Amino acid sequence: MSKFIMLTSCEEKQGKTVFSLIAAKELSKDNKVLLVDLSNSEKDSSYYLNVKDMVIYDVVDLIKDTCSLEQAVINIEKEDFKFDFLPAPRMKDKYKQLDLGHLKKIFMESNGIYDYIVIDGTTVADDIKTASYEIIDLVVMLTYNKIENVKCIFSSLNIISSDVKDIKLVINKTIEKEEKRGNLLTTNEIEEILKVRVDGKIEFMPKLNSLGENFLLENNYSEVSRIIQQVI
């Protein structure tokens, strides 16, 4: 059996794609990994992997039986890592073709072939319209720790927990100075307000905010790698 891991968030632009790519790289060192891109972002995994020109079939084509898994995946192979990649559609409107069962289709096509399937999802609000979480073994939810995020974090965790037992909450892009000033919530404050456990916290790194193509070839994101090893 493969282990299905979904990266999600309560809002857009929380760092899911970068986290997913680093997770796929880290896991692929000792395992066979498939990275599935369901991102709505223009800077999706195809951009960061520099393979946009190689995309012929995509994840929607696989789900709609337009192609096989073998036809859709792109092999990503570098000196120190290797994984398969199922790209997002170039035209994001194509996602409108999906229905509630699309994660089950990905499960049927990939289960048993890979050790890990890492899914770069959208937000929980968008995912719930087209995906049921019941095939997911682990959800990693990334979020900012702004005060206005609390309600969204709470509702998103409630939605996910109805189907998934293993949920890891990771605070991303925090700034310790702003926490001390009271402009951002601390880990303890989030845990107290929401009565949940925060499983990891990543300090804001400007270099990760301006990543370009092929950033996985660099090794300047050790803090993210450490959190991945901690939660997965």
Give the pLDDT confidence score for residue 213 in this predicted structure.
Answer: 66
Query: What pLDDT digit, counting tens, does each position of 53-62 carry?
Result: 999 999 999 9
Domain span at 9:
3-211
Domains in the chain, number: 1
Query: Strand 167-174 vs strand 200-203: parallel, antiparallel, or unpaired?
Result: parallel
In 10 A of CB 183, how many CB atoms? Answer: 12
Q: Are 58 and 92 in contact (CB under 8 A)?
A: no
Residue 62 lies in a domain: yes
Give the integer Cα–Cα distance in Å for 24 and 209: 19
The dihedrals phi and psi of 202, each to the nearest 5 degrees, come to -120, 125
Give the pLDDT confidence score for residue 79 in this predicted structure.
Answer: 86
In this prediction, the residues of the chain whose per-residue pLDDT falls under 50 are none
The helix/strand/coil state of 169 is strand
Residue 219 lies in a domain: no
Give the pLDDT confidence score for residue 133 in this predicted structure.
Answer: 79
pTM value is: 0.92
Give the pLDDT confidence score for residue 13 in this predicted structure.
Answer: 82
Residue 140 lies in a domain: yes
Query: What pLDDT digit, counting tens, does each position of 55-105 carry?
Result: 999 999 999 999 999 999 999 999 889 999 999 998 888 888 877 677 888
Residue 51 lies in a domain: yes
Give the integer Cα–Cα distance in Å for 232 and 151: 26
Residue 218 lies in a domain: no
> What's the CATH number where 61 sits?
3.40.50.300
